[in-house]
Structure formats: structure tokens, C-alpha cells
Chains A and B, each alone.
Chain A
């Protein structure tokens, strides 16, 4: 029946409305998180800039590039990939873009006859790679929403341990670079061996620097920090990108819900009007049917009725003689 359809539509509109409320809320939350992540990235920049500047000074001073993190491992049989994805979905193609970029890099490693080991940040990549039956070397969770430096330290320590054993030819990092609110790009970058800025050896020390302990000693101390700092900025970039993607996805969802609501309301109104029209038609039809059943309309005239039942008082007053009393 028509009324039933109307009820179903009304229920659907209600459910679309509540979905819209949720997506709108998520959109707003994501928007504030993007700003926060950007602020954090900005306040992390002085440290990474300074640390790079110090490394350049040290290399100018002739620090030996002998640290295991700078060394190539020509005999290594495998490569490692650090893949940074989110823990939660609802962020459009964010995760699949990173995973696809990582898979391309993995295919290159395979083509070069290298095995690979996976270091995975975020539940999404973890699920995807497990589904493909790949073995995960290390798994990190719960750090991409709002990364802190300790997270970077943990991941960097894992990567470093593996690299220093000499079993890895190189380590790549796949994450999403935050270019602007509208543009994020999944990239794969060489992470290890560390590519320190090339310094002209003939330039000599920039100034008469004093070192305590030796330049090489400091360099060996500072390189692990540099690694952490680079990983931290990758995490922050990924986090900003994740929230920006989520904001966009949720905005699209909210808009869709709005469109769907309009469409459903229109259909519902039509159904309601149809129902009313049908009802009127039924009433009219019913009346018509009644009138045609009774046949001639003269049959409804009072001549057929007993006049004594209609006007008993009048009959009394006009004709007393006829009374049987």
C-alpha cells in the first residue's frame, strides 16, 4: 500500500540525516586536527634544520663517514620498507595510495633480486599486507593520529637495529607528503643509508670550530638523532595528510547525504500525494458506486416513506375525528 512506502522513505530520511550529522562532526574534527598537525610540523622544523646544519659543519670539519648508518651494505640480500598508514579508515584513498606506492617500490626490489622486510605503521597497511599473506617484520599502532617524538624514536630504533646488522641493502619509507590542504602525495623515499649533504672537501672548515669530543664522535652521536628527526617529520606529514584526506572524504559524504536527503524527500512527498490522490479517488468512486447502486434518484424522495412517521403531531392536530380514541 502507498502509506507503507511513505513510512519506509521517512525512516530512510531519518537514517541519512543521522549519518550526515556524524560525517559533519568527523569533518570538523579532521579540520582542527589538520591545523594542529601543521602547527606541530612547524614547531618541529627548527630542530631538524639545526641538526642538519650541525651535521654539515661536522662534515666540513672532516668527520669520518664511517658510521653504520652511512654505510652501504653491498652484500645484503634484502631491503626494508617502512610504510606509514592510518589506523582508521574514512579517509578516502589515503591508505590505498600509500600502499600502492609501497608495492611498486617492493616490486622494484624484487626485480633486483632482493627480498624485503616490512615495517608497518598503522592498522590499515597491516591488514592489507596480512591479507596478501606477506610477513610483517615489525608493527606499530596508535601513533598516526597525533604522533609524538617517542613514537619516532621507537620506529627509528627498530629500523636502525636492523640496518646496523648489515643485512639490509637499503631502507625506504613510504608515506604521504603534505603539500597543501588540497594536495597530498604518496611518496617513497630513501631513508637509509642516510644521504648526508655533499660537502666540498676543499672548502675546509667554515670556521675554526672546537669540538668536544671529536667531530667523528659527535657525528656518531648525532646521526641516530637525525634519523629520528627525519622519521618524526615523516610521521607528522603523514598525520596532517591523513586528517586532510579525512576532512575531504567526510565533506563529500556530508554533501552526498544532503543530496540523498533531498531526493528521498521528493520521492516521499510524491508518494504521499499519490496516496492522498488515491484516497480521494476511492472516496469519489465509492460515492459514485453508491449512487448507481440505488438506481433512480426519485427513489430517495419522501413519497415512499410513511408520512405518519414523519409528521405525527400535524396529523393529530388536523384530523381529530379520525382518532380511534
Chain B
């Protein structure tokens, strides 16, 4: 039985479908993958990518900027107040943002720039453009 995956942002449901596997990264820094029959799990997501391996064979990569994942009874629910499907990411913009953020971090900017850098990196990783 496949996993029923739902990715919801506060404004709408971004993705809903069936998958064989979901990979996510929690705030602890480690990746975690879910297959059918996984123990019920609740976790806070890091700013990173989320990979949904679809039943049809392909996969959907999403850049999530924080959020939560809940797994129970083969249902995976991802709540993220900011999430982008790889198809909607503007690679050029993300790259520019990454450069800017890198420069800011190099200048010694604190939390904000590092957050921006993490977001840009996640976007690029999701769109498969990470150099």
C-alpha cells in the first residue's frame, strides 16, 4: 500500500498524491525516510529539501523552509508555511539570492543572512541546480 502524501501550506494544498517513499530532513540535521508501515512520527523540518518518490516512478522535490511532518497510518502530512515545488522555483533568482547571502555571511552578518543562504541553497538543491 502506498503512502498518501499531502503537502499543505497555509494558503493551499500544494501537493497531494501517492508515494512509495518520502525523505525529509529534521531540525536535528539528519535525513529521515519514510516507507509504508513507518511508526507514527512527528518532526520539525529543517530548511532543506523534501523528496517524494512517486508511485508512478518519478519524484517530486520540494524546497521546504521549515515546517512539520506527521506520519501515521501510512499517511504523510507535511505542513510548511513556505514550501516550493521544484517546478515553481526560479533558478536564476535563487542563484542571485545565494550569492547575495554568501556575501552577507562573509561580511559577518548573523542569523538573517544565514537563513537566507539556507533557503537559497534549499531552492537550488530542489531544482537540481546545486553546484
Contact of A47 with B8 in the complex, beta carbons under 8 Å: yes
Is the Cβ of B28 less than 8 Å from the Cβ of A212?
yes
Question: In the assembled complex, which residues on chain A have CB atoms less than 8 Å from the CB atom of B27?
Answer: 212-213, 221
**When the two chains form their complex, are residues A212 and B32 in contact, meaning their CB atoms are under 8 A apart?**
yes
- Which of A38-46, A160-168, A192-200, A240-248 is found at the contact surface with chain B? A38-46
Q: Are A47 and B40 interface neighbours, CB within 8 A?
A: no
Choose from A43, A58, A225 the contact partner of B11 (Cβ within 8 Å): A43
A 215-234 to B, binary, CB cutoff 8 A, 1 in contact else 0: 10110011001001100100
B10 to chain A, nearest CB (A): 4
Confirm or deny: B63 has a beta carbon within 8 angstroms of a beta carbon on chain A: no
Interface residues of A in 23-54 (CB under 8 A from B): 40, 43-44, 46-48, 50-51, 53-54
User: When chains A and B are docked, how far (Å) is the Cα of A50 from the Cα of B5?
Assistant: 13
Contact between B10 and A44, CB atoms less than 8 A apart? yes
A50 touches B8 (CB 8 A): yes
Set of chain B residues within 8 Å of A53, measured between Cβ atoms? 70
B68 interface neighbour in A148, A207, A221, Cβ under 8 Å: A221
**Chain A CB within 8 A of B87 CB:** no
Residue B109 at the A interface, CB < 8 A?
no
Cβ of B105 under 8 Å from chain A: no
Q: Are B44 and A213 in contact (CB under 8 A)?
A: yes
CA distance A210 to B42 in the complex (A): 6
Contacts of A228 in B (CB 8 A): 10, 81
Report the nearest A residue to B38, measured CB to CB.
Answer: A210
Per-residue interface assignment for chain B, residues 1 to 43, with 1 indicating a CB less than 8 Å from any chain A CB and 0 otherwise: 0000010111111000000000000111000100000011111
Whether B43 contacts A148 by the Cβ 8 Å rule is: no
B10 & A208 in contact (Cβ 8 Å cutoff): no
A 50-68 contacts with B by CB, 8 A: 50-51, 53-54, 57-58
Most buried by A among B6, B28, B68: B68
Given the complex of chains A and B, what is the CA–CA distance between A258 and B27 in angstroms? Answer: 63
Interface of A is mostly: helix
Q: Which B residues lie within 8 Å of A43 (CB)? A: 11-13
B40 partner residues in chain A, CB cutoff 8 A: 206-210
**Interchain nearest-CB distance for A291 vs B (Å):** 88
Interface residues of A in 157-206 (CB under 8 A from B): 206
> Does the CB pair B68–A54 fall under 8 Å?
yes
- Chain A nearest CB from B79 CB (Å) reads 5
In the complex, what residues of A have CB within 8 A of residue B32's CB? 212
- A218 contact set on B, CB distance < 8 A: 42-44, 68
| Cross-chain contact A211 with B42 (CB below 8 angstroms) | yes
- Asked if A149 is at the interface of the complex by the 8 Å CB criterion, the answer is yes
Q: How far is the CB of A173 from chain B (nearest CB, A)?
A: 17
B129 close to A (CB within 8 Å): no
Roughly how many angstroms separate A148 CA and B9 CA in the complex, as a whole number?
A: 12
Cβ of B77 under 8 Å from chain A: yes
CB pair A47 B42 closer than 8 Å: no
A118 on the B face (CB < 8 A): no
Q: What is the CB-to-nearest-CB distance from A320 to chain B, in angstroms, rounded to a whole number? A: 118
Least CB distance from A67 to B in Å reads 14
Find residues 35-60 in chain B having any chain A CB closer than 8 Å to their own CB.
39-44
- Which residue of the partner chain B has the closest CB to A207? B40
CB <8 Å contact, B42 and A44: no
A-B contact pairs, 12 of them (CB 8 A): A47-B9, A54-B42, A54-B79, A207-B40, A209-B41, A209-B42, A209-B72, A210-B42, A222-B44, A222-B68, A225-B81, A229-B10
Using a CB–CB cutoff of 8 Å, the interface residues on chain B facing chain A are: 6, 8-13, 26-28, 32, 39-44, 68, 70, 72, 77, 79, 81
Listed from nearest, the 5 A-B pairs whose CB atoms lie closest are A43-B12, A212-B43, A149-B10, A209-B40, A210-B41
